[in-house]
Each structure stands twice: as structure tokens, then as C-alpha cells.
């Protein structure tokens, strides 16, 4: 698999990375051994870049996967590891970094990010940024940055000297891409286009920022356009790596086939057994999805007030997923 440098960081990563979220308890809930074997399998196929987060509660999968890689390929090049935290203050981020090092059994983490920064939040995370910079100075991490769904965030920090990397959301249908607009002293959140995001990415890349992207398949909602979605994601020359979630070895094999150009043009993964779900960890209970569901398949849970989908009523049209402002609706 082709490898690319991540901006000016000196880190070289596979053009496709593996997101560990998919195998965790909020989605597939694989056993630790199953997840570790899947991580090793991805590495054996040329994927050397793995992304996780404090919020995902998936460190154990990656820890065991890294053990397998070290045991089975003792002379192999160590994988590049990325994690992130929602912590906004200094102590919270400092603790998140130290916990990640401990839980992953590592002395150094290659990349650590501020997780999902939204419009108006970057300046509010000064304490977290200070902790990241200190951790980089003492060698606990090699590169720092942020993940975001917002075009304006990518644009605004594209020249910030403290930021090495940006992990933005990008897909061919603009699903989940947002931008914040200041109006009468208030920040109004709006949908944004992939064209706007690409322009912001180009600006950041031209300033030496490393770029790797998420949600090429829109949380599974774009799998019906599998090859079109991947063609778009992997054709962006400023993007060093596209992070994808895998739940089984055959999905990794499909990706390799696509990248090698050996995939039949008519191929599309079988999604007949997948259903649309609301990730309860991301849902904010805003009700936007209910307004866009023509099948009356979505309601609020009486237990926690968050959205839930009735699979018997859902026709998998995807309208709710496009409407969700926090990308909480996924298909697996």
C-alpha cells in the first residue's frame, strides 16, 4: 500500500488508516481478541495507521493488536498511532495523554488531537492545547492537532503554528460537513459543502499541516456508492490518509482490491444485513432527524430522551443521516 508523509511532521502513514471505533461497544462490540486480530490483519495488508480516542473506550483493542504485531512481526516498522480527547482544560488533557500512554502500554504516542472541535471552541480549549504542547516538548507525543467536522475551524487554524495536523470530515455527498456563522452575536451552525472543506484543506496543506480525513463512507450511509465514495476520498491530493472503520477481514480485502485497481466496476458490498442506528454516545436529542423521517421510524427514547430508530419502519432512505447535525446516525 502506498505511504505518504503527514505534512511536516515526518510521520509516514499508509494511504488508508484504520479507525478503531467501529469494533468498540458503541458499534460492533467485538471481543478484544477479535478486534486485536483484525488490527493485526490490517497491518499485514499494509495499513500502518490506527486511530482511536479516549471517548471511544477502545484502547484495549489497540493495545492487544499492537502486541500481536510486535510478536508476529518483531522486525516490522512500528504502526503510527493517533488518539484524541474531548478534554478542554489543561488537567483534563494532561490526564488524557497520560492515560492513553498507560492504557496502550506505550512510551510515546505519535499523534494526539483535540477531539471534535466545533465553531467557537478552539479558543476555549487553550488549556488543552497547552497540555498538548508540553507533552510534545517532553517527548510524550510527536505531533498535535485537532479533529473537526467544521469548515471554518479548518480554515481558521490553517496557519496556526501550534497545530501540526488536522483530521476533518470529508465525503462526496458532504454528509456531516458543517460551518458556523456568527450572527447577531450568536453562532449559527449550518451545513457546508465538500467544496468548501476541500478549499480549507488546501489552505491548511499549503501551510504544512498534515491532513487525514474521516467518514468517507458517511458512517456507512454511503456504502451503496462504495466505489464512488472511495474514489472521491482517495483522489484528494492534499489528503495523506483516509481513515476507515473495518468490522471484518473481508472489508479490508475489499479496500485493498479497490486501491489495487482489481475490483470489478460493478462490485458493491452487501449491506442487506445492516440497519440504520443512532449512536447514543453522539446523539444530542435535538429532534432534527424526527422532522426528516417520512416513515415515522424515529422517536425519542423514554429512558434517556435520545433518538432511536425502529428497524421495522425504517426504509433506509438516509434522509435522517443527512439531516443529523452531529453525525450520530450510522449504518452497520
Domain locations in the chain as residue ranges: 3-260, 276-331
Question: How many other C-beta atoms are found inside a 10 Å radius of the C-beta of residue 46?
Answer: 15
In whole angstroms, give the CA distance from residue 305 to residue 307.
Answer: 7
Q: Which tens digits make up the pLDDT trace of 20-77? A: 999 998 899 999 999 999 999 999 999 999 999 999 999 999 999 999 999 999 999 9
- Which fold does the domain 276-331 belong to in CATH? Alpha-Beta Plaits (3.30.70)
Kindly state the greatest CA–CA separation across the chain. 59
Q: What is the DSSP string of 272-303?
A: TT--EEE-TTT-----HHHHT-TT--EEE-TT
pLDDT at residue 177, as a whole number = 94
Q: What is the mean pLDDT for each group of 10 consecutive residues in the chain (332 residues)?
A: 98 98 92 98 98 96 98 96 98 98 98 96 97 98 97 98 98 94 84 97 98 95 96 98 97 98 95 90 94 91 95 86 91 88
pLDDT at residue 171, as a whole number = 97
pLDDT at residue 189, as a whole number = 87
Helix (H, G, I), strand (E, B) or coil at 185: coil
**CATH number 3.20.20.100 is the correct assignment for the domain at 3-260:** yes
Angle between helices 59-72 and 32-44 (to 10 degrees): 50
pLDDT at residue 155, as a whole number = 98
Amino acid at each position: 500500500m502506498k505511504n505518504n508523509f503527514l505534512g511536516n511532521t515526518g510521520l509516514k502513514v499508509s494511504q488508508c488508516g484504520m479507525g478503531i471505533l467501529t469494533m468498540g461497544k458503541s458499534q460492533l462490540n467485538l471481543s478484544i481478541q477479535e478486534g486485536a486480530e483484525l488490527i493485526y490483519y490490517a497491518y499485514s495488508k499494509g495499513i500502518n495507521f490506527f486511530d482511536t480516542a479516549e471517548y471511544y473506550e477502545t484502547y484495549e483493542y489497540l493495545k492487544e493488536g499492537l502486541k500481536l504485531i510486535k510478536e508476529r512481526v518483531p522486525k516490522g516498522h512500528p504502526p503510527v498511532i493517533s488518539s484524541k480527547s474531548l478534554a478542554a482544560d489543561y488537567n483534563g488533557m494532561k490526564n488524557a495523554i497520560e492515560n492513553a500512554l498507560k492504557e496502550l502500554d506505550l512510551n510515546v504516542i505519535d499523534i494526539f488531537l483535540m477531539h471534535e472541535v466545533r465553531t467557537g471552541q478552539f479558543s476555549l480549549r487553550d488549556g488543552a492545547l497547552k497540555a498538548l504542547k508540553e507533552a510534545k516538548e517532553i517527548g510524550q507525543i510527536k505531533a498535535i492537532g485537532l479533529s473537526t467536522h467544521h469548515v471554518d475551524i479548518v480554515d481558521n487554524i490553517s496557519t496556526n503554528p501550534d497545530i501540526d495536523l488536522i483530521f476533518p470530515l470529508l465525503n462526496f455527498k458532504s454528509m456531516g460537513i458543517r460551518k458556523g456563522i456568527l450572527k447577531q452575536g450568536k453562532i449559527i451552525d449550518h451545513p457546508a459543502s465538500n467544496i468548501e472543506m476541500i478549499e480549507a484543506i488546501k489552505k491548511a496543506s499549503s501551510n504544512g499541516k498534515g491532513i487525514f480525513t474521516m467518514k468517507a463512507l458517511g458512517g456507512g450511509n454511503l456504502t451503496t456508492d462504495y466505489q464512488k465514495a472511495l474514489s472521491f476520498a482517495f483522489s484528494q491530493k492534499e489528503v495523506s490518509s483516509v481513515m476507515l472503520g473495518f468490522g471484518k477481514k473481508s472489508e479490508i480485502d475489499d479496500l485493498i482490491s479497490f486501491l489495487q485497481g482489481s475490483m470489478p466496476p460493478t462490485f458493491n458490498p452487501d449491506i442487506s444485513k445492516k440497519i440504520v442506528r443512532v449512536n447514543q454516545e453522539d446523539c444530542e436529542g435535538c429532534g432534527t432527524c424526527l422532522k426528516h423521517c417520512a416513515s415515522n421510524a424515529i422517536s425519542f427514547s423514554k429512558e434517556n430522551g435520545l433518538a432511536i430508530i425502529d428497524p421495522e419502519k425504517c426504509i433506509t432512505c438516509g434522509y435522517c443521516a443527512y439531516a443529523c447535525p452531529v453525525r450520530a446516525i450510522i449504518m452497520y
